[in-house]
Structure 1
Amino acid sequence: MSLGFSSSDESPDIAAVVGALDDDACRKIVGVLEEPLTVDELADRTGLPLSTTYRKLDRLTEANLVTETVGVRQGSHHKSRYIADFDDISIALDDDRSFDVDVGRSSSRSADIWSETRRTF
């Protein structure tokens, strides 16, 4: 069974990143995403309604701050799990005096995602 990632390697939009980080519910989700979790697990751990959890995960995924992993089998269905896949975020002025956002990702994060996913089989 393969594991796929839905987020892209593109530079994230600064407004999307700042907007997600300015959202209390998004920060709450990122705060518990130390390991891959399903939407149900996230809703339980954060105390957020399921519908809010889905909306906030969409926002975090669009900002390239959370990655959706696919391929975890539970019964006859594949369950998506989510992981916060960044270590740091920096915002700076580039040479043109425009804001540039950089999301730092640890190279060990991929290994962490695989090891956590394997445990669920």
Structure 2
Amino acid sequence: MTGGSDETDRTPSLEAVLTTIEDADCRALLACLHRPKSAAELCEESGLPRSTLYRKLEQLSEAALVTECTEIRCDGPNATLYERDVTAISIEIDDDDEFALAIERPPADPTDRMAAFWAGMKSSSDGDDDAVGDEASDDGADGGPTDDAASTDTSGVDSQ
């Protein structure tokens, strides 16, 4: 999964959203993500094999419905957590008889936005953009405070 701070990264196609929410496993994972959780927690709750879970998380991420965040830990390796990044999905037919997609997102906390900014700066300076997705670092997460390095969307609503 890749994350980015560019707002266009968080505006999925209508087809990607519809395909994703049509998938029963993706819908079940969205329902599980009422708080940030590790892959290990999601495997346990969903009963999905780890490889299937990561494919579904990738699909949810590509549809901009889930983001990755990093839980900074003082006593061990950091943990990758996944969180739902959508509060509502609307599909309308506009005046030109075209489908329009609108996604409402949870409001961004200024503290989280600042943490994401610094995490992105550190990641850029280390040249280590993909280290966040390390499987070994996500076992046993407790869902505590997160560092949302995947999104800095502050608009609250994306539309296409």
TM-score (norm 1): 0.79
Alpha-carbon separation, structure 2, partners of 1:74 and 1:57: 27
2:7 aligned residue = 9
For 2:7, what is the secondary structure of its paired residue?
coil
1:27 aligned residue = 27
Amino acid at match of 1:118: P
Segments ≥4 residues shifted beyond 4 Å: none
Tell me by how many angstroms 1:106 deviates: 2.6
Q: Which moved more, 1:55-64 or 1:68-77?
A: 68-77
Alpha-carbon separation, structure 2, partners of 1:118 and 1:71: 6
Q: Choose between structure 1 and 2 for higher RCO, CA contacts under 8 A separated by at least 6 residues.
A: 2
Identity of aligned residues (%): 34
- Say if 1:89 and 1:101, in contact at 8 Å, map to a contact too: yes
1:118 aligned residue (137, 145, 148): 145
Matches within 5 A, 1:77-96: 77-96=77-96
1:101 aligned residue = 101
Alpha-carbon separation, structure 2, partners of 1:66 and 1:79: 16
Q: Sort the Cα spacing of 1:33 and 1:56 in 2 relative to 1 into closer, same or farther, 3 A.
A: same
- Say if 2:91 and 2:102, in contact at 8 Å, map to a contact too: yes
Question: Structure 1, unaligned stretches of length 5 or more?
Answer: none
Alpha-carbon separation, structure 1, partners of 2:69 and 2:86: 15
| Greater gyration radius | 2
Structure with greater proportional strand content: 1
Q: How many correspondences in the alignment?
A: 111
- Say if 1:72 and 1:117, in contact at 8 Å, map to a contact too: no
Tell me by how many angstroms 1:80 deviates: 1.0
Alpha-carbon separation, structure 2, partners of 1:83 and 1:97: 34
TM-score (norm 2): 0.61
Amino acid at match of 1:54: Y
